[in-house]
Amino acid sequence: GPSLHPGFGKVGLHTMKYLHEYGAHCICVGETDGAIYNPRGIDPKELEDYEQGHGTIVGFPKAESYNGSVLEVPCDILIPAAIEKQLTEENAPRVQAKIIAEAANGPTTPAAHEIFLQRNILVIPDVYVNAGGVTVSFFEWLKNLNHVSYGRLSFKYEWESSYHLLQSVQHSLEQWFGKSRGEIPIIPSPQFQARVTGASEKDIVYSGLAYTMEQSAKQIMSVAARYNLGLDQRTAAYLCALEKVFTVYDEAGFTY
């Protein structure tokens, strides 16, 4: 999988966990008090346990300490996950990542952004990458307005729909093969069973978040293609947002 390098605050830790689950290797982690490096990969759970016990990532036994600039480590994905203006005109030419995912707010200066574009490095902009928190806050706000937990209104209906779907499949198969063969019971798999009986509020929020982020990514990429912006996803994201604001103003009759 791809190699990556995040920081290790709340954002960096969870990013590292999720990408590790999807097969990426985290080879370098940089914090304010030091950095660690292991080209074979660092296990996020082991590092989290060590950090909680020692109050620092420095000295983690399964990696060596790293004294160079952590932003310039050769890797596939670089994830600045803490402070702003880390990637500058001065260090941007030396960054060796193929993709920069801006988990922090404003980690790239405008001059560095231009350099990355010239060097064909894909920068996934902060306005998109760290929008997950705001999205879930929006879900929370909706829930508070409605005074109803997610799933309460639709859960039973969806469960019954799944049950009728299985019955329909069974009925179709029996018709196709003829009644002489007897009943053809459709047994839901344990995964399907768990899904129809146990969608927690957390599951619903996670799927809503994933859907929102996927749709947003598609919108940004299609805007980039429409305006021929190449790898400049930041400008595409801003255009996407401005178009939405304009549409609302236009439909409300505020534009003239």
Q: Is the pLDDT of residue 40 over 60?
A: yes
CA distances from 195 to 189, 214, 246 (A): 10, 21, 40
Quote the pLDDT of residue 50: 93
pLDDT tens digits along 47-65: 999 999 998 999 999 999 9
The pLDDT confidence band at residue 75, using thresholds 50, 70 and 90, is: very high
Across the beta sheet with 122-124, what order do the strands follow? 25-26, 3-6, 77-79, 99-101, 122-124
Name the pTM for this structure.
0.79
Q: In this structure, which amino acid lies at residue 166?
A: L
pLDDT tens digits along 144-178: 887 777 776 677 777 788 888 888 888 888 888 87
SS3 53: helix
How many CB atoms are closer than 10 A to CB 55?
A: 9
Quote the pLDDT of residue 86: 92
What mean pLDDT do residues 208-222 have? 94
pLDDT tens digits along 193-203: 777 766 677 88
